[in-house]
Structure 1
Amino acid sequence: MTTNFQGRDEVKMPLVTVILPCYNAELYVEEAVLSIMNQTYTNLEILVIDDCSNDDTNSILKRLSMEDSRIRLIRNEQNLRLVKTLNKGIDEARGMFIARMDADDVSLPERIEKQMDLMLSNPDVDLCGTSYSIIDGIGNKLKTEVKVPSTCEEIKTALLFTCPMGHPTVLFRKEKIQSLGSYDENMINIEDYELWLRVALKGKMVNLQNPLLKYRWHGENISILGRDVKRNSVNLAISKNSEYGFIEKYRELHLKMILAEWNYSINELRSFNLWKKELATHVDDLDAFVKVFDSYYSLTMLCVIKNKNSLKIKLFAFFNILRIKPIYTFQHFFNKI
């Protein structure tokens, strides 16, 4: 059987298991599953795990499974919640490669094809994400593209400040992720970020710049709920992965970077300036380190705006930015204001 996956025979197309956990997703789950059923890469196992939904989700999934033999529907006996369900999916997966998908998002038709093309051409890459767009609850596009860092070095640097990979966009090698222990079930609301730290330490990850997934933003996303829990989880993630290069005395600064909890004070600017110097010894790629400066510029400008009557803040920010030449020119700084 031939496919449109660049003319390859299906026998040469490794099986990809798409793990799609669902809980009370009746409004969106059909569109999500159909977007996987309609992928140009056809050698798929669509592993849909219903986490004890009490709405019409399960009946929708049963109907879809009758339409496509690639769908394998599992219903948890009790509500396991997301992280345990994901680990169950990894254990159950029959494919050498696993793609993530959420029940309220939409994958573009060529998503899996483009990711597998990269993975098969680069056997040293363990995990591949993509850029993505953002839609609202009824499918209207809110943002055309969310840019993500592309190279492994850029992703490692970005991990110091944010989660640089869209969780529902990733595709990874099952064996590699299992060798790292899969998702840590203690990392509530931040299981992806903590796993990416481990991958960054022990493997290679990249992002495709193509926006290949529509991420649905409807106010009930798990990723925007439970801020206190998320903060505790980030703290645990940093502790667990201390070898990644996080410096203990800057732990609180890192938490502020991840969770956007800045006070925009001169003390924070001083701390960031010191931390930036420490980071410079760990980052080899100049283009990647520019992202650190981008964060510093943002913090500096917000600090100046919030403290617009403080000459001390303005002078401190001005002379700090002068000192980072030649990486950024004086003219470049003013272009960013």
Structure 2
Amino acid sequence: MDNEELNIFETSVQRSFDSIVSDGDVRKWRDLGTVPRDVWTRVGEAGLLGVSIPQHYGGGGGDFRHEVVIMQELARRDATGFAIPLHNAVVAPYIVEHATEQLKSHWLGQAATGEKLLAVAMTEPAAGSDLQGIRTVARRDGDHYVINGQKTFISNGLHADIIVVAVKTNPEAGAKGISLLVVETDKAEGFSRGKLLDKLGQESRDTSELFFSDVRVPVENLLGGSEGQGFRMLMENLPQERMVIAWLAMGMIESALEHTMSYVKERKAFGKPLFAQQNTQFKLAECVAKATQTKVFVQYCTQLLVEKRLDAPTASMAKLLATETQAEIIDTCLQLFGGYGYMREYPIAEMYRDARGFRIYGGTSEIMKIIIARSL
């Protein structure tokens, strides 16, 4: 695949989003606390779901670079709360890499059309970054597992039809007792969802609690072929998830700078445009330099990922660098807007709130530092 192919894909993505996503839609989704299902269906019809799912399973047959194009386009439209990257590049790989052939054929085509939406359920009220501390259990009962427990902060939790759930199949075995089970919600008696959680930002990314009360799941829904493989699979897939977060952060950085450059060139203070003032120029020069440095490293890590050479410490560096830089640059940009930066009608205000979660989910900045330090 060459750059020309990616450029053609980028043009196609832009045209598709032009017809699907407007500024008014993004505001409406924030107010609703979710992106409506009919919008997901339209995105599926446009071929933007499952772009890196292999073609023989009904997907687009692309790779992570195609997912990056979608992430950047969402960021340009201040729509990073639309969890297409979670569906495409975080959850679908668990099924592509670890489900049986029969279930791949059954689920992946539906995920690519938007008929079925995907989520992954790891976090629990008493277990955030410490995955070994999860308490949701799955007990083998004949040809089924019976799940009991609770998950929280689950993105796509309100609408997901297929959920990869981290469970303890052997509560006494620590990390080696964790398994991944796929729950089809329309077949899961005893499964229920809590209300939408009221978040500081990214309101359109529907986030809820999930409850499992004697939910029976067929044994064949166990990913990886045997019990106890869940922690390994999570660790193998987390580098890509962290690259998703890094690219969304990078897209938001570029969007913030674009909005700010337009504002300071139009707005006047003390009789001249803000951009003509040395302080404004210096602040923006620093931001652009940091953004460029960060993007070069994130692009480098993406190439490693595509070549299957990206390790956990390097992915952690990408997430740490991108999200910390995101916070710093967006804060600087908001300051240049003055009082208007504090008004929600300006995208920079929404970005400021949205960005705060990036240093928490997918592994906090502190966890990223621990992973990096252990590699030294």
Q: TM-score, normalised by structure 1?
A: 0.27
Higher percent of residues as helix: 2
TM normalised by structure 2 equals 0.25
